[in-house]
Amino acid sequence: MMLLTLAGRELRSLFLSPLAWTILAVVQLLLGYLFLGQVDFYLQLLPRLASLEGAPGLTQLVVAPLFGNAAIVLLLVIPLLTMRLVADERRNRTLSLLFSAPLSMTEIVLGKFLGVMGFLAVMLGLICLMPLSLLLGGSLDWGVLFSGLLGLSLLLGAFAAAGLFFSTLTSQPAAAAVASFGLLLLLWVLDWAGNSLEGAGRSVLSYLSLLRHYEALLEGVFKTSDVVYYLLFIIAFLVLGIRRLDNDRLQH
Amino acid sequence: MKYQPLVQLEQVSRYYGVTLAVDAMEFEIGRGEVVGFLGPNGAGKSTTMQMIAGTLAPSRGRILIDGIDILDQPRQAKAHLGYLPEQPPLYRELTVDEYLRFCARLNRIPRTERTAAVARAKQRCGLEQVGRRLIGNLSKGYQQRVGIAQAIIHNPSVVILDEPTVGLDPIQIREIRALIRELGNDHSVILSTHILPEVQATCDRVLIINRGRLVYSDSIAGLEQNMRGGRLILGLRRPPPLAELEALPGVEQVERIDAQHLQIHYAAEADPAESLARHAVEQDWGLFELTPQRLSLEDVFVELTCREDDQEAEAA
């Protein structure tokens, strides 16, 4: 109940600022353009695909690349969204309202996380309209679509949790954005370096990479370990954020 | 039933790094008391208030709100508290109504009572006319009132106001003071300020702190008693030698201000004004002025905070 109150306030403030609307519009525009490109590409391939046995279908050729692109675009965008969560409240001194209210730090952090996830759900809904529009002229592989959607949601959750944590560290939203963007990008490209390594080093790096776990889900391969990776990632950063806010009261 | 103070500080200290901001502070606040917290800038007022409000944890010591330790059971303790920090914690993008409704929900006011609580807080702080306006567009005075409304919305037993009248114009200051006095009827109020008349105008009791230490704690009546302290200005056309005056009963010390004016220090119980006048007439000193000197709150304050500094200098 309290979580919903906090999340609702967060969501409301987001939509009262031009930032949320701008982000929604720009993301939609970019992804729409990329989506049309993919559809075009699919139409060009169509004659050749017809003659192939077991050829990749509409979902693999259009939806999976769309979700892949969405992940990269949102990697750039989510730090901008999460940067102000705590940093802004700290700078405007509104944090003491939450601290002096009968709330636990866990409620504050989870409330804010839920608020951002609410916004991201709206964004996911808008993104999903694109593949769904394909139903007008074709059919989709629902399994692949849902596994891709699950992967994207988990990935966004991970982005948001990391961004939220960095926002608790500072009172400068821009610093929080840069730090979380840096970390996310690092985790994204981590396994590129892994390619040149051998053995254990390589498998550790590619396990840590945010990208690896996402790719499997995009292809419609559902592995519990991938889902657990994202859940652990989210929980770890939320706990760090809670600890950080607790520390706020203890030390300055 | 045992007397239970509403707010109780036990040997509370707070460090910022190596700097000691609050040093073994100890006091109690009773139900329905309006307490003024006085001190120069950097004395530790805000730190102490933040600790009572639970937004800052003490490095040492305990704070009890209605007998509940604020560190052990923060949620239960904070339910009794309303806090207005130095800078009111307002979401500028919300309207006054939205903001107060959010605060009501934060403080777990049941759904059925929320509208009434918001209306009551608005009415008490004179915000009825601005409910639908954006907080960011309100004047400083109104923003301050929204801040106070936020602190009293859940009808807490303790209201903590950190410098509530800073930056307001004189009329707004009067209104806020009236509001604080009114709050004192059914809440305990802790008020910090460095404006001395504000304390005289609104509080039942004064706590003066300097360099993180409590240097004075008394009721306003006691403070005024203290302020009546021990000086007379005596104007004589033909003053006698100082020794003659000092010999009079009750007189402790005589200082010469100029040729015809003298300052008489006397013990608090024995006011020598009457005997001075009689002697002056009997011995034809040419009495033309006899004025009791009242210390202003400023004097008491300066005296207390400086005496403390002197002692420290001597100790060092």
β-strands B60-65, B68-69: how paired?
A: antiparallel
Instruction: Report the b/e string of B110-131 with b at 16+ CB within 10 A.
Output: eeeebeebbeebbebbbbeebe
Is B307 a domain residue? no
Q: Is the pLDDT of residue A161 over 60?
A: yes
Domain's final residue, options B181, B200, B225: B225
- What pLDDT score was predicted for residue B150? 94
- What pLDDT score was predicted for residue B182? 86
Claim to verify: residue B93 and residue B108 sit in the same structural domain: yes
Partners of B185 in the β-ladder: none
Is B71 a domain residue? yes
Claim to verify: residue B193 and residue B280 sit in the same structural domain: no
Claim to verify: residue B242 and residue B140 sit in the same structural domain: no
Claim to verify: residue B203 and residue B270 sit in the same structural domain: no
Is B279 a domain residue? yes
Report the gap between the CA of A17 and the closest CA in chain B (Å): 8
- What pLDDT score was predicted for residue A122? 95
Enumerate the residues of chain A whose CB falls inside 8 A of the CB of residue B49: none
Q: Number of folded domains in chain B?
A: 2
- What pLDDT score was predicted for residue B248? 78
Contacting residues for A83 by C-beta, under 8 A, at least 6 apart: A163, A166, A167, A173, A174, A176, A177, A180
- What pLDDT score was predicted for residue A159? 95
Q: Which one has a higher pLDDT value, A150 or A139?
A: A150
Is B309 a domain residue? no
Average pLDDT value for residue range B264-282 = 78
- What pLDDT score was predicted for residue A117? 96
Claim to verify: residue B39 and residue B90 sit in the same structural domain: yes
**pLDDT tens-digit series, residues A181-233:** 999 999 888 877 656 666 777 777 778 888 888 888 888 888 898 999 999 99
Report the gap between the CA of B12 and the closest CA in chain A (Å): 14
- Rounded to 5°, angle at Cα A115 from A114 and A119: 110
Residues of chain A whose beta carbon is less than 8 angstroms from a beta carbon of chain B are 2, 5-6, 9, 12-13, 16-17, 92-104, 249-250, 252
Task: State the Rg of chain A over Cα.
Answer: 20
Claim to verify: residue B19 and residue B125 sit in the same structural domain: yes
Of B168, B167, B149, B169, nearest in space to B159 by CA: B149
Chain A: residue whose CA lies nearest to B53: A100
**pLDDT tens-digit series, residues A60-112:** 888 889 999 999 999 999 999 999 899 999 998 898 999 999 989 999 999 99
**CATH code for the domain of B234:** 3.30.70.100
Q: Is the pLDDT of residue A53 over 80?
A: no
Q: By percentage, how much of chain A surpasses pLDDT 70?
A: 96
Enumerate the residues of chain B whose CB falls inside 8 A of the CB of residue A17: 93
**CATH code for the domain of B164:** 3.40.50.300
> Between chains, do B74 and A104 touch, taking CB under 8 Å as contact?
yes
Tokens of A25: 């519009």
Q: Is the pLDDT of residue B226 over 80?
A: no
Claim to verify: residue B162 and residue B267 sit in the same structural domain: no
Dist CA A191 CA B124 (whole Å): 62
Q: Is the pLDDT of residue A55 over 80?
A: no
Claim to verify: residue B171 and residue B280 sit in the same structural domain: no
What is the extent of the structural domain holding B98?
7-225
Claim to verify: residue B164 and residue B283 sit in the same structural domain: no
Claim to verify: residue B133 and residue B163 sit in the same structural domain: yes
Is B313 a domain residue? no
Domain's final residue, options B195, B225, B255: B225
- What pLDDT score was predicted for residue A195? 65
- What pLDDT score was predicted for residue A179? 95
> Between chains, do A95 and B107 touch, taking CB under 8 Å as contact?
no
CA dihedral for A122, A127, A131, A132, sign (positive or negative): positive
Most confident option among A46-50, A55-59, B46-50, B311-315: B46-50
Chain A: residue whose CA lies nearest to B51: A249
Per-chain mean pLDDT for chain B:
84
Q: Is the pLDDT of residue B297 over 70?
A: no
Is B312 a domain residue? no
Q: Is the pLDDT of residue B51 over 50?
A: yes
- What pLDDT score was predicted for residue A76? 92
> Between chains, do B106 and A104 touch, taking CB under 8 Å as contact?
no
Enumerate the residues of chain B whose CB falls inside 8 A of the CB of residue A97: 89, 103, 106, 150
Claim to verify: residue B197 and residue B264 sit in the same structural domain: no
Give, in order, the Cα–Cα distances in Å from B5 to each of A142, B8, B28, B65, B191: 65, 6, 6, 8, 17
